[in-house]
Structure 1
Amino acid sequence: MTTKPRQSGQGPAHTVGPAQNQSTESHGTKSHQSHALPLALTFLGTIVILGTYIAVLLTQPANLGTNLGHTTLWVMLGYLLGGVLLAAGTLPLIPRSILALIPVAIAANIVIGHVVGNVTPIPLYLDSIGTVMIGVLAGPAAGAFTGIISNLIWGVTLSPSVIAFSSGAAFIGAAAGWAARLGAFRTPWFAVIIGALAGIPAGALGAPVAAYVFGGGLGSGTGGVVAVLQAAGLEMLNATLAQSLFSDIIDKALIFALAYVVVRTLPRRILDRYPFTDHSLSRSSRNSDNSRTPAQVG
């Protein structure tokens, strides 16, 4: 006695032929390969930057960036190479819809950061406003890419020393995307707290480079804080680290708060172009938008 195979009742059973299996496997292999190279470049860039950072800590160069000598040059080249590798790795992961906004974000970083750092006595930076906004709108990869490219362009055009701080810029852009994914920009206080926490590693990343290679704070305001702390008896690294942590915590808390305000003021039709912003919208706002009929939307 033979038993017929049971069918679902939803029509004849469909079988997947060898050609379809091969097509699916081929697509999966191509997708894996397309992500393998960006991840490898990102990993390699991270290793180069961490290696340069550790080398600065271990060697503690003593020329303090009085000129573009041997020490300053290898530090700059290390961060430049790491930044280029990170940028090449993150670029394929960026949504194409955000590419048109990245030049605007870079211009905002450079103009505001240059004015605050060189013209005003404020011991802040405000040079990552555009980077954080891109991270909130499009995710960690886009934020990291914007931070890196911003510092590279700024370094080539106005201030070469900025290149050495590209690792911190990349981290802040990625941190903004991670924070947005966690819903940090749904409430103002959550955004401020996460921004302050992000300022701690950002300050720690930049302090040794600022201390050993460039002689402390690079801006008029931050340099003044380092000078005061040194006059109080702190050595260069400790003075620069204290200044960096103080400035970065306040700076990033303020920038994340500004990003929250911008997200709340942008029209929904603009936010809809960037699906990643759903992480930053309150549940009530999303439910309200989803409940509207087509006639109401139009």
Structure 2
Amino acid sequence: MFNIRPALVIAGTYAWAVLTAGGPTNYSGYLDGSADTQAALSLPLTLGLPPSALFCSWPPTSPRLAISTLALIPFAAAFKIIVGQLIGFSGIPLYLDSVATVLIGVLAGPAAGAMTGAVTNLAWGLTINPTTIPFAAGAAAIGFLAGCSRRAGLMSKLWTALLAGLGTGLIAGFLGAPIAAFVFGGGQGVGTGSVVAALQAAGQSLLGATTLQSLLSDPLDKTVAFLLVWIIVRGLPNRVRIALGA
């Protein structure tokens, strides 16, 4: 059964990351690249998110978080890191790194999806790219919503799966925009950052430009992710699909 208390901790760390970044008038301290400012943001998130994510499905013997699901999480982390790094280098204004998180959410339920999203972002941040750590709560929300979509029967048809991806993308966009704006000044050197810069040049405020960019990129990005997961699930044996309700 999904444990609401760790979920509240994850939500709290998200709110903390946004509020302590200082809002739109005082986010520049996190952009100076110093170890002190990065540690001030990342350390509490790193300490708070992993145990919260791991206990979303306590006890661990719950059928909603089987051992086979735990075995998939390293795969999801590796996939997310590799795809995310490649997309970051390419300059494409999308992310395309949530496919594995969505897949595990669909296959194993909201709790496993939330855990996968948070843990994989933290693994990515602690090994290669620290800027992904503040987005861990949003990644957890994507995995959770993917699991809820499957339970609601939205993964049974292509058009409903696409709608689920669109809705997840809108929510992810609203969650990610304040982090991108207040913590990172609108972008982290990837293709989405250039879109934010263009919107600001057109007269948008930082938060307005980041939100608009997120609402353009995230729904498309998550719709593509849900489409790919729907195709993957269609390729599973019928007995597995029936058991999943997909």
TM-score with structure 2 length normalisation? 0.88
Are 1:115 and 2:81 matched, yes or no?
Answer: no
Equivalent residue number for residue 63 of structure 1: 29
Q: 1:243 to 1:57 in 2, by over 3 A?
A: farther
CA offsets 1:156-187 (integer angstroms, 9 cap, x no match): 11100101100110000000000000011111
Q: State the Cα deviation string for residues 22-43 of structure 1 (Å, max 9, x = none).
A: xxxxxxxxxxxxx79x543333
**What is aligned with 2:182?**
212
Query: Quick check: 1:40 aligned with 2:5?
Result: yes
State how far apart, in whole Å, the 2-side matches of 1:262 and 1:217 are: 31
Is 1:132 the counterpart of 2:139 in the alignment?
no
Q: Quote the residue 1:245 is aligned against.
A: 215
Q: How does 1:26-105 map to 2 (within 5 A)?
A: 39-56=4-21, 58=23, 60-68=26-34, 70-91=36-57, 92=60, 93=62, 94-105=65-76
1:90 is paired with a residue of what secondary structure?
coil
Q: Distance in 2 between matches of 1:206 and 1:241?
A: 8
- Unmatched segments (≥5 aa) in structure 1: 1-34, 281-298
For the 8 Å contact 1:46–1:86, the answer to whether it is kept is no
Distance 2:205 2:30 in 1: 13
Higher relative contact order structure (alpha carbons within 8 Å, sequence separation ≥ 6): 2
Aligned-residue RMSD, C-alpha = 2.3
Match of 1:261 in 2: 231
Instruction: Render the CA deviation track for 1:66-102: whole Å, top value 9, x for unaligned.
Output: 3135444333234323422322312525122222222
What's the CA shift string for 1:209-238, capped at 9, x where partnerless? 211221212243111111111111112111
Q: Indicate how the Cα distance of structure 1 residues 78 and 99 shifts in structure 2: closer, same or farther if over 3 A, else same.
A: same
Residues 1:220 and 1:46: Cα distance change in structure 2 (over 3 Å): closer
- For structure 2, which runs of at least 5 residues remain unmatched after alignment? none
| Separation in structure 1 between the aligned mates of residue 10 and residue 199 of structure 2, nearest angstrom | 34
In structure 2, distance between residues paired with 1:213 and 1:249? 22
Question: Is residue 168–residue 202 contact of structure 1 (8 Å, CA) maintained in 2?
Answer: yes
Q: Distance in 1 between matches of 2:39 and 2:141?
A: 23
SS in 1 for 2:92: coil
Deviations 1:234-292 (A, max 9, x none): 121111111112111110011011111110012346x27x94x22x1xxxxxxxxxxxx
Shift of 1:104: 1.2
Q: Distance in 2 between matches of 1:73 and 1:245?
A: 29
Q: Which moved more, 1:94-103 or 1:194-203?
A: 94-103
Task: Look up the match of 1:227.
Answer: 197
Query: Per the alignment, do residues 84 and 225 of structure 1 end up closer, same or farther by CA in structure 2, a change over 3 Å counting?
Result: same
**How far apart, CA to CA, are the structure 2 residues paired with 1:64 and 1:53?**
12
Query: Hey, what does 1:28 align to over in structure 2?
Result: none
Distance 2:14 2:44 in 1: 7
Matched residue, 1:163: 133
Distance 1:193 1:57, change over 3 A: farther
TM-aligned CA distance change 1:53 to 1:64, over 3 Å: closer
Structure 2 distance, partners of 1:64, 1:236, is 15
